[in-house]
Chain A
């Protein structure tokens, strides 16, 4: 199964089960360019062992905030920055962990790291982007990427 297909299944299942969201995987032709001035939140987990790389979830700040409000069962807009980072980290952990479970061989998963800001790129020396899957939720897009050492 291609990485895009794996990621689409994993992300749809996790966000439906944990946040109650119905998300739609997008094809490249459906992608609407995001405003680079928008603040985004990214979570990253690395996988080491027989397969080496990382899984990155990048959400616009408003979607990340909405996920935190829902997961903490708070009123809209009530989640703190720390709670938003915690949510994005945990969602990334679940996506990375489920992805790792489908890989061959013996692998280890890191604890998630979370960054927040504008116009940044997440990269790591020696890793190549092998999957970039966009999703739509409530008219907004977010992305899950897989980088692999090849």
Chain B
């Protein structure tokens, strides 16, 4: 059954590229919802609780990615969250996993890299 995905990134082109890459990777996506920051991400999660996977950037205005992850977990939402970001140092990965993220994909990425990192969530 196709899974709905929430993509949270302040760059419109990145949201489009992530959505396109998910489909190119052959992942069984249903609807892809797009939010421009953590605030929009939380709002979309409220209106679409059926979202089965969340992909989030780190650096965003209004509410950044790590705050977004903490807010989602504080609401008791256990939907898997994978960060897609340039913030790839070991300490940053450890920080965001401690906050409740389930995985990590570095930009730049290929559809194959997304398939490898995200395939287990579909």
Contact = CB atoms under 8 A, between A and B. Distances in A.
Given A73-B20, A96-B86, A111-B60, A83 B107 contact: no
B87 A18 contact: no
A97 interface: yes
A4 interface: no
Interface string B73-92: 00000000000011111010
Contacts of B88: 97-98, 101
Interface in A57-78: 68, 71-73
A73 B16 CA distance: 9
B25 to A, nearest CB: 14
A109 B60 CA distance: 10
A138 to B, nearest CB: 20
Interface stretch (B6-14, B41-49, B97-105): B6-14
A93 interface: yes
A13 B85 CA distance: 15
B94 interface: no
Interface residues of B, number: 21
Contacts of A111: 10, 59-61
B13 A83 contact: yes
A106 B60 CA distance: 19
Interface in B57-75: 59-61
Contact of A71 (B10, B17, B60): B17
B107 A94 contact: yes
B55 to A, nearest CB: 15
A26 interface: no
A116 B91 CA distance: 35
B115 interface: no
13 contacts: A18-B17, A68-B13, A72-B16, A83-B13, A86-B12, A90-B14, A93-B11, A93-B86, A94-B107, A98-B88, A100-B87, A109-B59, A111-B60
